[in-house]
Amino acid sequence: MHIESIKLINYRNYDKLDIKLNKKLNIFIGDNAQGKTNLLESIYICAFSKSYRAAKEKELIKIDKDKAYIGINVKRDFTDKFIEIKFEKNKTKRVRINRVEIDKISDLFGHLNVVLFSPEDLKLVKEGPSNRRIFLDTEISQIRPKYRYNINRYSKILKQRNNLLKSIQRNNKLKTIEVWDMQLAEVGSEIIKNRIEFIDRISEISKNIHYNITEGIEELELEYMPSFNIDCELSKNEIKDIFIEVLNRNLAKDIEKGTTEFGPHRDDIKININGLDAKIFGSQGQQRTAALSMKLAEVELVKSEIGEYPVLLLDDVLSELDIKRRKFLLSTFKDVQTIITSTEDIDVLDIHKKDKKVFYVSKGNIVNI
């Protein structure tokens, strides 16, 4: 799939923008704070319904304005999608697909697939496990729509269970917690099973990509680290039984702490480079490349699951790669629509004119040269 055009009105630092993209490579060049990331963010919102960096939706509306609009035309193999989102201060956003308003925000998922790599993705390797769980949840939801529903349900059930644990603690009375345990294990085991399958597939692909980016010097390995011991070969029901057992065994401790110690909300991924934990031993550059390989693996995974390549968004990453690695990246993903931002000119002379478009971004204005 590819994005044909983007229209923005009063979004972030843009007044009015209307641009057409190239089917293959698009490069947005501009100094800092000109609106490059804002543009990628608008695309991301059309794919995932929310921003990855705005704490509040109203931040997306241009200062001093009341409404903002994003309109994106997506060309797909079978049906094209025109995605429109309208933001209004103090109101919930409205989403239209092919001019029909959708009732549930979740109906937006799946019309546009994107994979974003931004400087913040360094956190994926460097920082705490919640960053890796966000990665799992975002990327699995793209290929398994039910997964997002399960994640939402799981956190609701978990909250109820934790509330009950706290009330038992206060009243010193054991109430029936089994109902919540059953539900938690039912949904949780499906999440765990999906994560096992996802990591299994993505580790193969990312290992390959990483090997190529580092010219055979580094071997990247991803390993699922569930919060309690499970064999990856187990069925969903077997995982469920173990989960219930773990909850039972740990109940006294959970009551004491007023929180649930085991479950997919405590999962992690171990990221090794040449056999060493990249979180602890990796250099900043190695950590960044590992995160990039993991994100790029999702591009291939979406292709194999959905049948079409997603749109690849690379925010400020190309300038950090040397020419060789850059060339590898661009040639590997030459059939993927790629949207790149950079503060400096990027040499893409060897790419045919019809396969690229270069834009200059300045104070919320974009010109194509």
Residues that bind ligand ADP (CB under 6 A): 12-13, 30, 32-38, 59, 61-63
35 binds, among Mg ion, ligand ADP, none (CB under 5 to 8 A by kind): ligand ADP
Q: How far is the CB of 270 from ligand ADP (least distance, A)?
A: 32
- CB-nearer residue toward ligand ADP: 14 or 198: 14
Least separation in angstroms between residue 62's CB and ligand ADP is 4
**Residue number with CB closer to Mg ion (12 or 126):** 12
Tell whether residue 342 is a contact of Mg ion (CB under 5 A).
no
Q: What is the dihedral of CA 48, 49, 52, 53, to 10 degrees?
A: 160
- CB nearer to ligand ADP: give 58 or 75: 58
b/e for 211-227, b at 16 or more Cβ within 10 A?
eebbeeebebbbebebb
Which residue's CB is nearer to ligand ADP, number 32 or number 90? 32
Residue 113 near which of ligand ADP, Mg ion, none (CB within 5-8 Å, type-dependent): none
Q: Is 42 in the site for Mg ion (CB under 5 A)?
A: no
Q: Is the dihedral of CA 306, 38, 52, 206 positive or negative?
A: positive
Rounded-to-integer distance, Cα 363 and Cα 14, Å: 8
Closest CB to Mg ion among residues 36, 133: 36
CA distance 262 to 332: 40
Q: Report the distance separating Cα 9 and Cα 67, nearest Å.
A: 8
* Cβ closest to ligand ADP, residue 337 vs residue 341: 341
Q: Which is nearer to ligand ADP, 55 or 349 (CB)?
A: 55
Least distance CB 275 / ligand ADP (angstroms) = 37
Q: How far is the CB of 40 from ligand ADP (least distance, A)?
A: 8
Minimal distance, residue 42 CB to Mg ion, in Å: 13
- The two structure tokens encoding residue 202: 């993505």
By C-beta, is 59 or 277 nearer to ligand ADP? 59
Smallest distance from ligand ADP to CB 34, Å: 4
Q: How far is the CB of 12 from ligand ADP (least distance, A)?
A: 4
* Pairing state between β 276-277 and 311-315: unpaired
Q: Exposed, middle or buried, 290 (CB in 10 Å: 0-12/13-18/19+)?
A: buried
Question: Which residues within the stretch 114-133 sit at the binding site for Mg ion (CB under 5 A)?
Answer: none
Q: Rounded to an integer, what distance in angstroms lies between the CA atom of residue 143 and that of residue 123?
A: 23
Categorise residue 341: left if φ over 0, alpha if ψ from -120 to 50, beta otherwise. beta
Partners of 179 in the β-ladder: none
Looking at 10, 26, 37, 141, which residue binds Mg ion (CB under 5 A)?
A: 37
Angle formed by the axes of helices 178-213 and 129-143, nearest 10°: 90
Q: Which does 46 bind (CB under 5 to 8 A by kind): ligand ADP, Mg ion, none?
A: none
Buried b (16+ CB within 10 A) or exposed e, 252-263: eebbeeeebebb
CB of 13 closer than 8 Å to CB of 38: yes
Give the pairing type, strands 311-315 and 338-342.
parallel
Write down the least CB distance from residue 36 to ligand ADP, Å.
3
Shortest reach from residue 4's CB to ligand ADP, in Å: 22
Of 338, 268, 280, 292, the closest CA to residue 119 belongs to 292
Which of 40/185 has CB closer to Mg ion?
40
SS3 assignment, position 339: strand
- The stretch near Mg ion (CB under 5 A) out of 36-44, 166-174, 227-235, 255-263 is 36-44
Interface residues toward Mg ion, by CB under 5 A: 36-37
